[in-house]
Structure 1
Amino acid sequence: MSVLSPPVYDIPSEDQGVEDLVGVFEKKFGSKPSFISRAPGRVNLIGEHIDYMGYGVLPMAIEQDVMVAGRTNNLSLLRLSNVDDEYKSYECSSAIDSLAIDRSAPKWHHYVLCGFLGIVEKFSVPLNMRMGMDLVICGRVPPSAGLSSSSALVSASALITYQLIAPSQLSKTDLAQICCDCERYIGTQGGGMDQSISFLAEKGKAKKIDFDPIRATDVQLPDGHLFVISHCLAELNKAATNQFNQRVVECRLACQILAKKSGLQWKEFRRLGDLQSKLGKTLEEMISLVKEHLHENVYSKLEVLETLECKADSLLQTSLSDNTAHLQEFKLYQRATHVFTESWRVEEFKKVTEQVPVDAQKLGKLMDESHASTRDTYECSHPSLDILTQLCRESGALGSRLTGAGWGGCAVSLIPESNKESFMEKVSTEFFSGEKLNGRPLSQVLFVTSPAAGACLYKC
């Protein structure tokens, strides 16, 4: 894995989107940008909702990306525009103490501010020199689809900030970690998968991403097979609800109760992966521990407090988040069971890809099992996703599962290349009627993807 900074290229002549972005920037600000940053979205092949518990995941970058054209200004202002008129322009002071990110109702520009803040605060960049930035954003990752459009926007925004005003060289892993940390400004308690693959991806390669420290290992995908992304047409902004963060908290509470039951100082643990490491147990042994110490019935907040022998204000500080403080019930057995079994599936998936030839049937079975777990145990699927993944299997997919946070968004399916035409025809005909698409091109909701390159810069 390279630890070099993201590469800087000349503007690619074959990408009309880049030229269009430069044109919009010139029209808005009167001259060309200095640089354009690019950060891809991603599809997670397997390993859902486990990165924030300290476990490895297996994503690949996709060709769809977010680009940010930028230059500095001497107005002490951040002036943000979007090529899509649906997203209104935004302007604010570049002084850190004047920036406001609304966690309760996040807008597109708040994700840009997250990336900006991550770089500026990390390196204490002096902004008292009347320095600001003019930025124009172009998003080509379908929004609210589970393809990491928001993290790609944070990453591209951090990268352009780094290029324009940061004082030192940063590696790809440095930038990934900064972006993982700074996205929490908007209230999303993710684990780092999206930002890591966005920076560390390589064209033609999927990656096994591990954490603490962030590191990436190449994954060999099966020859003669393709991955197809399909959108169930139900969208959800995970940062605008408490469902995503509720799952994080439920996993954390499960971890802390298991730690206490194991005779450890429970306040020292927040991630199931750290607990497993401390106990020196296998994933199979951790699953047994869950069955021994957690019950399947819903836990009340009072029961959690009694089990941990702590008061409500202490639980708020050690375990909960602002948008989960009101919760009164938690499913701990189910969430911990998903994390450990999904982590096992990631390891098995990686083992299968190391065999020659790669057994695509086994990969598909693991993907199906993953979807069943996210649907039934983690409860983050959506009726439309369940219908879509079943249709994909009936259309010839070896495996099909939700990808991303869930509660809507996209499925990823593994298909034999020889089945491509019949698969696409059946799924498009039976799921994507014109009425459902509501004017959206079919190519935006059903498409073949292959591993794309990671984040980079274009010099204008």
Structure 2
Amino acid sequence: MRVVEAFRDAYAGSPQTVWHAPGRVNLIGEHTDYNDGFVLPFAVPWGVTAAVTPRTDGVVRVLSLQSPGEPATFTSYDQSKGWTRYVVGVLAMMGEAVSGADIVVDGDVPQGAGLSSSAALEVAVASALNDALDLGMTPMELALLSQKAENDFVGIPCGIMDQAASALGQEGHALFLDCRSLASRNIPLDLGAHGLSMLIIDTQVHHELADGEYAKRRAECESAARKLGVAALRDVTDLAGALQQLQGDERKRVMHVVTENHRVEALIGLLRAGAVTEIGALLNASHLSLRDQYEVSSPELDVAVEAAVRGGARGARMTGGGFGGSAIALVPVERLDSVKESVSRAYDERGFSAPRFLPAVPAKGAHRVGVS
């Protein structure tokens, strides 16, 4: 395993433990997590592997195989910069339980595709430290600690969805998560049995959630909730009445969040009824809401969704935070080539960079891998 070999080269010893944590794609339930709502993500085959040995001298050494060179060394958490803040943030949130570590990470999550490489990095490091130090934290506790690292240390006000999907995902299943109670259950998602495939369409447009737009949407939702007298938008039960009390962007944000929660529940109902082929309409509706009410889409995402449906997809939508990243399309297996051709042609006609296509197969959540 190359992460282990790199660890030995960098630190002249074998790692105490090695963990892998996946990225995620969200089937439906977008921008609902930080509104105490419902989400339905699943783990993807790509992720981050972390080789870790704890230290006792307060020193943190971090090396990424995606950033060749010497390990970055910190004697204070505040010294970390860039991507290392996601790693160091996890140690900071663990407090006195950890006093430094030697870490090497290796990732294959497509960067900028909106598949949450940051959550995979956090959960992999947190899981490895939990194992090495025998802290006894549950997968959900590790997800919450990783979220806190991103919120409080990195400064991105993300919800719990990404880290939960990475920590708790199961192969062949989507994860239904109530972001308020943190109750979760795995929902079987066997697309192949119905002749379907979930295709990720990476627009190759990279986004940066820390640029203010993500935080702005969250602030608008919190402001709307205060005006409506509810703890979070998840608590809005009379949508028509709520919309009469709001204006402008806040009105549109509430419209999206409330209807998106309904779509999550409806989609789960269809999956449980075995009507997998019928979920496409909910994906389409989700995209339109994200485009028009939440205003987080982009021309490249819109073209990908429209061209995929035109090419034979049963439904499609943007996934992730928005402003770039990826769309997903529910495609009959026999129409995969047609959908890819349709999207590629539409991009070429508009002068967009060629998209990348990735198969979205529900994968295993964070797990220990052998040191060899």
TM-score where L is the length of structure 2:
0.92
Q: Match of 1:315?
A: none
User: Is 1:125 paired with 2:125?
Assistant: no
Equivalents in 1 of 2:352, 2:301: separation in Å? 18
Selected match of 1:436 from 339, 353, 370: 353
Q: Match of 2:160?
A: 192
- State the shift of 1:458 in Å: 2.0
- State the shift of 1:193 in Å: 0.6
Length, aligned pairs only: 366
Q: Match of 1:84?
A: 66
User: Is 1:137 paired with 2:105?
Assistant: yes
Equivalents in 1 of 2:305, 2:60: separation in Å? 43
Equivalents in 1 of 2:251, 2:244: separation in Å? 10
What SS does structure 1 have at the residue aligned with 2:256?
Answer: helix
User: Is 1:455 paired with 2:366?
Assistant: yes
Equivalents in 2 of 1:372, 1:87: separation in Å? 44
User: Is 1:109 paired with 2:84?
Assistant: yes
The code of the aligned residue for 2:144 comes to Q
Change (3 A) 1:77 1:101: closer
Equivalents in 1 of 2:342, 2:3: separation in Å? 36
User: Is 1:168 paired with 2:135?
Assistant: yes
User: Is 1:349 paired with 2:267?
Assistant: yes
The code of the aligned residue for 2:161 comes to M
Change (3 A) 1:336 1:81: same
- State the shift of 1:359 in Å: 4.4
CA contact (8 A) 2:200 2:359 kept: yes
Question: Mind listing any 5+ residue stretches in structure 2 that lack a counterpart?
Answer: none
Change (3 A) 1:69 1:425: same
Equivalents in 2 of 1:376, 1:393: separation in Å? 18
Equivalents in 1 of 2:323, 2:70: separation in Å? 27
Fraction of identical pairs, as percent? 30
Give CA-to-partner distance per residue, 1:178-202, whole Å, 9 cap, x none: 2222221211212201111111111
The code of the aligned residue for 1:115 comes to V
Q: Match of 1:236?
A: 207
CA contact (8 A) 2:203 2:327 kept: yes
- State the shift of 1:219 in Å: 2.1
Change (3 A) 1:237 1:64: same
After the TM superposition, which residues 241-320 of structure 1 pair with which residues of structure 2 at under 5 Å, given as runs? 241-259=211-229, 269=231, 271-273=232-234, 275-276=235-236, 281=237, 285=238, 287-296=239-248
User: Is 1:332 paired with 2:310?
Assistant: no
The code of the aligned residue for 2:251 comes to Y
The code of the aligned residue for 2:62 comes to L
The code of the aligned residue for 2:223 comes to L
Equivalents in 2 of 1:447, 1:84: separation in Å? 20
- State the shift of 1:397 in Å: 0.9
* Cα RMSD for the two superposed structures: 2.2
- State the shift of 1:432 in Å: 7.2
Equivalents in 2 of 1:193, 1:257: separation in Å? 26
The code of the aligned residue for 1:231 comes to D
Q: Which has the larger radius of gyration?
A: 1
Change (3 A) 1:380 1:126: closer
Change (3 A) 1:135 1:82: same
Question: Mind listing any 5+ residue stretches in structure 1 that lack a counterpart?
Answer: 1-18, 260-265, 297-330
- State the shift of 1:424 in Å: 3.2
Q: Match of 2:340?
A: 424
